[in-house]
Amino acid sequence: MTLHSQDFLVSRGDLRRAEWRTQPVQALKDGDILVKIDHFAFTANNITYGVFGQAMGYWNFFPAPEGLGRIPVWGFGNVVESRHPGVAVGERLYGYFPMSSYLVIEADRASPASLIDKAEHRAALAAVYNNYQRVSNDAGHTTEIEPAQAILRPLFMTSFVIDDFLEDNGFFGAKQVILSSASSKTSLGLAFALKHAARKGIEIIGLTSDANKVFVENTGYYDKVVTYDAIGTLAKDTAVFVDMAGGGSVRAAIHNHFAEALAYSCSVGGTHWEDREIHEALPGPKPTLFFAPSQIKKRHTDWGPGELDKRVAGVWTAFLADVAGWLKVSEGVGPAAVEAIYFEVLEGRARPEQGHMARIEA
Ligand SMILES: NC(=O)c1ccc[n+]([C@@H]2O[C@H](COP(=O)([O-])OP(=O)(O)OC[C@H]3O[C@@H](n4cnc5c(N)ncnc54)[C@H](OP(=O)(O)O)[C@@H]3O)[C@@H](O)[C@H]2O)c1
């Protein structure tokens, strides 16, 4: 019997055009495994994969018909067929999947902890995305932890590493760190990491929209929360800007307000994906794209094997305990529910406390 996969496809040129297609699952070759994708998280980060699909290669992970793209997501799946001697049917994996019901993985480098997909179309892309954790072999893995892991863990690594990068650079001499899209889970993770590390003399300021201000204040992660239209009220002390929103107007407002008092402008995300007008020749430093793998590599060299993971784990555990107080996880089941989540997040209608999980097939 031929299995069929339901694939959620979007137009590469217009993320508002989306459709489902049912396609036969390809036959396995020696070494392949077939994973039935169980459930996955969906946040603005996944929309950013689509926005930068062409520019940064995110469309290359999961091939799609001409002009269409398959948005990558972080989630869990079960091995339902295996032609790899070291991977058993029934194993559960965590990693990077398409919004589809099945994925064929060309399994390689299988260790007790992980394996990789060595498919040629993925080979040029960052290794972190091609790695699958064999959670069935992980004594610390529980079903209960899966939503928080899928929703927050990929984002939190970046949050932690930005805090570390800023500390490593003496906060560029700044007295305040200003985060845009303060309500995003990546910014919340960074604000938490900054507070957890109790960085002396550094004020943590969150910028957000009116609708999300009270939620952001109530987390207690920021020293001050300011709406985008009040950027002009911020004290012109030396500042570092960590830009999760990537919007042209917020960036211009920050650069124009702080000008030479802006010590560093760190470009991380693109939640304000429809406001990407680039303002040339802004005052202050040129925005620099943050590349987490560089800092991770540096710390592996500085600290030796295992130390970075140990440090991340300490703050992650504290963060997880804290988010239990505000994160509201829910799961959409079936294609219509998955599509509704996609559009809710795309249009910026999702509440920041919402943790969306999605399951294509019950
Ligand atoms: N470079 C990296 O390595 C890296 C790693 C992780 C994350 N990131 C980026 O960080 C960003 C945050 O991701 P996340 O998953 O943490 O986001 P999230 O939790 O889903 O963020 C939701 C928030 O983003 C803003 N937002 C979302 N959609 C919007 C829309 N259509 N229009 C206007 N505002 C919108 C709103 O915040 P406000 O109202 O507060 O603006 C909203 O509360 C993404 O762009 C992601 O790609 C980058």
The pick from 71, 156, 181 for probing ligand 1's pocket by mutation, whose C-beta has the most ligand atoms within 8 angstroms, reads 181
For residues 315-342, average pLDDT: 97
Confirm whether 301 is domain-assigned: no
* pLDDT at res. 231: 98
Residue 276 has pLDDT above 90, yes or no: no
Is 260 inside any structural domain?
yes
Residue 307: inside a domain, yes or no? no
Atom of ligand 1 nearest to the CA of 189: 16
Structure tokens that stand for 280 in this block: 């040339």
Mutate to test the pocket of ligand 1, among 271, 294, 345 (most ligand atoms within 8 A of CB): 271
Does residue 9 have its Cβ closer than 6 Å to ligand 1?
no
Does 317 score more than 80 pLDDT? yes
Query: Over the stretch 13-67, which tens digit does the pLDDT of each residue have?
Result: 999 999 999 999 999 999 999 999 999 999 999 999 999 999 999 999 999 999 9
Q: Are strands 176-179 and 239-243 parallel, antiparallel or unpaired?
A: parallel
Same structural domain for residues 58 and 163?
A: no
Cα–Cα distance for residue pair 196/323, rounded to 1 Å: 14
**CA dist., res. 70 & res. 40, Å (int):** 14
Q: Model pTM greater than 0.85?
A: yes
User: Does residue 76 form part of some domain?
Assistant: yes
Is the pLDDT assigned to residue 2 strictly greater than 90? no
Residue 279 has pLDDT above 80, yes or no: no
Domain hosting residue 238, numbered range: 154-295
SS3 24: strand
pLDDT of residue 211: 98
Residues 200/181, Cβ–Cβ less than 8 Å: no
Kindly calculate the radius of gyration of the chain based on its CA atoms and give it in whole angstroms. 21
Assign 147 to helix, strand or coil.
Answer: helix
156-169 pLDDT, tens digit per residue, is 999 999 999 999 99
Ligand 1 mean position, distance from CA 258 (Å): 23
CB of 184 closer than 6 angstroms to any ligand 1 atom:
yes
Residues 124 and 34 placed together within one structural domain of the fold: yes
311 found inside a domain: no
352 lines ligand 1 (CB under 6 A): yes
Which residue owns the Cα nearest ligand 1 atom 6?
Answer: 155
- CATH number reported for the structural domain that contains residue 251 in this entry: 3.40.50.720
| Residue 280 in this model has a pLDDT that exceeds 80 | no
List the CATH number of the domain containing 343: 3.90.180.10
Number of domains the chain contains: 2
